[in-house]
Amino acid sequence: MAALVVLVTAPKGDGTRIAKELLDGKVAACVNVIPGVHSSYWWEGKVEEAEEDLLIIKTTEEAYDRLEELIRRVHPYKVPEVLALRVERGLPEYLSWLEGSVSPRGQQAKA
């Protein structure tokens, strides 16, 4: 099992809603929402600035495609920031919990 940490920025106040969607969809084991991130970035030929929420998402390589698909569906940005970083090492018990908290491939959360 390969664990991933996925970084996503969202408009200020949207982080909690997106986190709930990801958890309800069983594509993430845990989502930390950090409000008050000031972002400066290039967009459509000019530098923009925004106050955003930063989501730190813990998931698995196996669930990544479903996670990305869900983010595209629920995120308000045309091109959301989605950066996946592989976890090289971690507490074995935590990694086991992470894997057990994300639905196996193709299974959706129960309603």
Who wins on pLDDT, 14 or 108?
14
pLDDT exceeds cutoff 60 at 34: yes
pLDDT exceeds cutoff 90 at 105: no
Query: Nearest-5° angle of CA 49, CA 70, CA 50?
Result: 5
Sheet containing 46-60: which strands, arranged edge to edge? 30-43, 46-60, 3-11, 82-86
Dihedral angle, C-alpha 3, 33, 74, 79, nearest 10 °: -80
* C-alpha radius of gyration, the chain, whole number: 14
Please, which pLDDT band fits residue 111 given cuts at 50, 70 and 90? Answer: very low
Domain at 3-101: CATH architecture = 2-Layer Sandwich (3.30)
Please, which pLDDT band fits residue 7 given cuts at 50, 70 and 90? Answer: very high
Mean pLDDT of 88-93: 96
The pLDDT of residue 109 is 47
**What are the beta bridge partners of residue 66?**
none
Who wins on pLDDT, 107 or 31?
31
Do 100 and 43 touch, CB atoms closer than 8 A?
Answer: no
pTM of the predicted protein model: 0.92
Rounded to 5 degrees, φ, ψ at 22 are: -70, -40
Spell out the domain ranges in the chain.
3-101
